[in-house]
Amino acid sequence: MNRRLKGYMTLEAAMVFPAAFALVIMLLYVTFFLYDKCRMAQDLYTAAYRQSIVRGGAAPKTEIDTSGFFMLNSCTAEVGGGSEISAGASGSMAPALLTGAEDGQGIWELKVTMKARKTDPPRSFRRFRRVTAIAGQLLGK
């Protein structure tokens, strides 16, 4: 009976270890993808916030650096102005484990958008102080 079971460890190792290795690699790809998504959301939030607090009619063009993302093949980002600021970015990632080779076309798409409302904090403070002064005069204080 021992002669028939000599190769079972080899067969098990040949099937289990590659599957476990592929699973670990896929988990790494997912964590890289989520890292890029978090970083992209942070960059877009910062860009939208900076555009929203610019005073005056014409806001300067905000550049978003897309070269530092970890695993994205192609990434584009833009910030739009107006009364409602919108910042958006999109990219793609092609895990070599799923595609066989990195051919430049991503199969995991990543799209993030942020919106902000144009604000003018000094104007809001002045308006609040004006309203409280008028209310104080009307109430006799």
Per-residue model confidence (pLDDT) at position 134: 93
The answer to the question of residue 105 being in a domain is: yes
The answer to the question of residue 119 being in a domain is: yes
Contact 83, 54 (CB under 8 A): no
The answer to the question of residue 3 being in a domain is: no
Choice among 46-55, 100-109, 130-139 with the minimum mean pLDDT: 100-109
Per-residue model confidence (pLDDT) at position 5: 64
Q: How many domains does the chain have?
A: 1
The answer to the question of residue 2 being in a domain is: no
SS3 content of the chain, % helix, strand, coil (to 5): 50, 20, 35
Q: What is the pLDDT of residues 69-127, one digit of tens each?
A: 777 777 777 787 777 888 888 888 877 766 665 555 557 888 888 888 877 777 778 88
The answer to the question of residue 107 being in a domain is: yes
C-alpha separations of 11 from 1, 2, 17, 33, 81 in Å: 17, 16, 10, 34, 62
DSSP 47-114: HHHHHHT--SSPPPPPP---TT-SS-SEEEEEEE-SSEEEEEEEEEE--HHHHSS--S--SEEEEEEE
**pTM score, whole prediction:** 0.66
Q: What is the pLDDT of residues 23-44, one digit of tens each?
A: 998 899 889 889 888 988 888 8
Range of the domain at 78: 8-139
